[in-house]
Amino acid sequence: MNRAAPSPALPLPPATGGRREGDPPGRRSWVPLERPLPLEAGGALPEVRMAYETWGRRAPDGSNAVLVLHALTGDSHVAGPSGPGHPTAGWWDALVGPGRALDTDHWFVVAPNVLGGCQGSTGPSSRRPEGPRWGGDFPRLTIRDQVAAEAALADALGIDSWAAVIGGSMGGMRALEWAVSRPERTGSLLVLAAPAAASAEQIAWGSVQISAIRSDPGWRGGHYHDAPPGEGPHRGLGLARRIAHVTYRSEPDLGARFGGSAQPGEHPWHGGRYAVESYLDHHAAKLVHRFDAGSYVTLTEAMNGHDVGRGRGGVARALSRARMPALIVGVDSDRLHLPSQQAELAQLLPGADRLRIVESPHGHDGFLIETDQVGCLVRELLSGRPDVRGR
């Protein structure tokens, strides 16, 4: 039976684990948007910078461009090692590169950090035009706002239409919004482990996580970013991560790995931890050193509000706009974004012939872990595109 490895000693948690001014840029680039970004709820963000990374070479007409969209605590670093500027290795590293599913000898791959995130794009930890950080005054965003920012990024890069838009979980929500709101710019579509609209249960899970962060005394109404180490809302963020991680994995996976065993050297009946508790503690400790609590709240609120049918006559009518070739993919053991939701989505989307299933014991995270299966689906999607070389 596998047990969680003990976490290495980590320094005192910073007020925010997000990227700060002066940190190494890594392989990111930035684009400032030319005008204020109008928001669905009203008002506008006066200044927006979008961080992004690219792989491959853009064709002169931009026709070989593929947009890859990350999940909640991901970022633009889809491929490549960890290192200065990148706290983690690429989250889909096995899929991007010469000869891989996203073959960079053929395709120009673009991955932005989502608006509201904390790894380079404008978010709660960013400074306002007049100087102070946004903090708790950062406006509420929707998935539509995030896609509007990504469309402005595409404009700045000279990309009129994507050969494919690909995303999983929160990234799948944005990919679907691209297809519905900008079908003329979405050549083909791959949505993994994401619904057409957030369900009551998914909103409930997200709301509990938001409450965990806002209940932390270190939250300070969202204005904590300049607090000393150890005085930010790291306890609330860590608790939110623990809750979320349980929904990301399946019960059989957790049972097979940990069961009811104690963490080696500890005795739960004497105040120690179970192995599964140590596992959750480990993931919480990692996240608070690389992510921002305000971004976690902002992005979770956006996910809770996801509904492609809002203001468009309902989900079915909204999806009828998206007639591009599409693959809708569920993970068979996913208990967060249920395969039944993807089945309904595949049935309603004109360009999707049927639901595709990734087989995995790992639950929702299967879309990140099962790269061989996902790679086959990416190749299938792109095989119908012309062989465009950006040389």
Kindly list the catalytic residues. Answer: 169, 334, 364
Q: Cα separation of 168 and 174, whole Å?
A: 9
Q: Cα separation of 208 and 389, whole Å?
A: 47
Angle between helices 200-214 and 234-248 (to 10 degrees): 160
Q: What is the DSSP letter of 252?
A: H
Q: Cα separation of 378 and 109, whole Å?
A: 13
Q: Cα separation of 117 and 292, whole Å?
A: 8
Residue 358 CB partners (closer than 8 Å, separation 6+)? 192, 329, 330, 331, 332, 366, 367, 370, 373, 374, 377
Q: Hey, how many other C-beta atoms are within 10 angstroms of the C-beta on 248? A: 22
Instruction: Record the tokens describing residue 93, joined without a space.
Output: 């590293």
Q: For residue 75, give Cα distances in angstroms to 140, 186, 187, 194, 328.
A: 20, 21, 23, 18, 22
Q: Cα separation of 124 and 137, whole Å?
A: 8
Per DSSP, helices labelled H in the chain are 143-157, 170-181, 200-214, 234-248, 251-257, 275-288, 293-304, 315-319, 339-348, 366-369, 371-383
Pairing of strands 44-45, 355-358: unpaired
Task: State the Cα torsion 35-124-214-284 to the nearest 10°.
Answer: 130
Q: Cα separation of 196 and 307, whole Å?
A: 6
